[in-house]
Amino acid sequence: MLASADCGLSAPTKSCEPIDELLAGADAGYPILNSVMADPERYRVQILYTRVDRDRNNKPVLRSYQSGLDANRYFYPASTVKLPISLLALEWLAEQDIDGLTSETGMLTDAATPAQTTAHRDPTAENGIPSIAHYIKKILLVSDNDASNRLYELLGQDYINQKLAAKGLKNTLINHRLSTRISEEENRQYNPIRFIGPEGNTILAIPERRSDYRYINTARPELGQAYISAGEKIEAPMDFTSKNRLALADLDGIVKRLIFPQLFAETEQFHLRKEDRALVIRYMSTLPPHSKSPKYDSGEYPENYSKFLMFGGEARNIPDHIKVFNKSGWAYGHVVDSTYIIDLENQVEFFLSAVIYANENDTLNDDEYQIDEVAKPFMRELGTFIYQHELERRRPNKPDLTAIREITGS
């Protein structure tokens, strides 16, 4: 293993130190963490942990540690791509600079091809009308696929991928809707969309569009030794050339760009209006049972539904003084999470991102993954171990978390 690796950060931190020595200190209270880290190659583990220290002016200074971090090692990013899509939707909104066009404005999606579907109503919204804000809320609370697809249709592949590349996120590619059975060509075709005012007047109409350029993973990654397709087992690796990609350092960097934009060059930031950035931060930490619109059943969506690092596994509550700002995903045996965690009571803050592949038979689409037995417990123990380390770690100055308290109402 190299002594350092690219963390995907601009100044002040460009490389990471190894985290293995720290993790080697985990005692018997972390059985899954110890088991996985005894053979990380088997689980294709990647970890990126970042300490946050504050100077006397409360300016954050980051120091990162990694294990297995490799931007060239492909894993399927699943729902984590919904975070950059959400941020870009708000950046696109700010760029329009049209009176009456906000994240709360009604967004009606039409259909121009047989593969496309409409979205004119949303019964989970207070006014029954879809909007960018409501889609983002559903994405961040319960990782809603349709909500993400609607924002993907708004932006299109050209805008998404060119914007991300310009921000220095060179190991990210988003080229398809989620949980739909449509072709690669159909994924390059985008619905017409109308934004409407409270009286039903059209504020902005966007015609149907398409991308001519084919965004693919040029390394042509393959996963598994076999996969299930149309009920048949194919004895060959599954091709992910035309699938989404989001390297762990890029995902981690997206979260950091949101929380600490000032640490990145102007060109690398997401350019959001103040209220739109606050909207994302607020919903990232909102727990599903606490939402009133939409209202989620706590049995199906417990507090820790998508909070894997530190809280993954069977249903459990999250203490009020701990706030988890994250985006997670799970598919094809992968479990991914990237998070900024703060403890308001003990004035602790840190970033942690990780991915694990829990698929013993290395067969994709057979639903025989070890998500509950290995992946989620690993995430929980890893997050808990780092949190306990942070509780004991001496820091030069206690962080002033007033700004994030105001956003979250904590």
Instruction: Domain count for the chain, please give it.
Output: 1
In order of 32, 160, 256, 277, the CA distances from 195 in angstroms are 49, 20, 31, 21
| Token duo for residue 359 | 């698929």
Question: Which residue type is seen at 319?
Answer: P
pLDDT tens digits, residue range 165-204? 999 999 999 999 999 999 999 999 999 999 999 999 999 9
Compute, in degrees rounded to 10, the torsion defined by CA atoms 183, 186, 187, 190. Answer: -170
Cα(326)–Cα(268) distance, integer angstroms:
20
**What residues have CB less than 8 Å from 57, skipping those under 6 apart?**
none
Residue 8: pLDDT band by 50, 70, 90 thresholds? Answer: low
For 251-268, the pLDDT digits (tens) are 999 999 999 999 999 999
The whole-number average pLDDT for the span 298-302 is: 97
What percent of the residues of the chain are helix, what percent strand, and what percent coil, each to the nearest 5? 30, 20, 45
What domain range includes position 159?
A: 5-408
Q: What residue spans of 314-397 are helical by DSSP H?
A: 376-392
Rounded to a whole number, what is the largest CA-CA distance in the chain? Answer: 63
Band (11; pLDDT cuts 50, 70, 90): very low
User: pLDDT of 337-392, one tens digit each?
Assistant: 999 999 999 999 999 999 999 999 999 999 999 999 999 999 999 999 999 999 99
| Mean pLDDT, range 6-33, rounded to an integer | 81
Mean pLDDT of the chain: 95
pLDDT grade for 410, boundaries at 50, 70 and 90: confident
| 227: β partners | 234, 364
Residue by residue, DSSP assigns 52-117 as EEE-TT--EEEEEEEES--TTS----GGGGHHHHHHHHHHHHHHH--TT--TTSEEEE--SSTT--
pLDDT band at 16 (very low <50, low <70, confident <90, very high): confident
- Map tokens 């840190």 to a residue: 350
pLDDT at residue number 1: 29
pLDDT at 10: 47
- List the one residue out of 217, 229, 279 whose CA is nearest residue 87: 279
CA distance 193 to 98: 16
**CATH number of the domain enclosing 229:** 3.40.710.10
Q: What separation, in Å, do the N-terminal and C-terminal C-alpha atoms of the chain show? A: 41
Arithmetic mean of pLDDT, 212-226: 97
With pLDDT > 90 as the criterion, what percentage of the chain qualifies?
Answer: 96
At 159, the pLDDT band (50, 70, 90 cuts) reads: very high
7 pLDDT higher than 90: no
Which whole-number Å values give the CA distances from 171 to 30, 107, 213, in the listed order?
32, 31, 18
- The structure tokens 């066009």 sit at 101
State residue 156 phi and psi, 5-degree precision: 80, 160
CA 307 and chain centroid, separation:
11
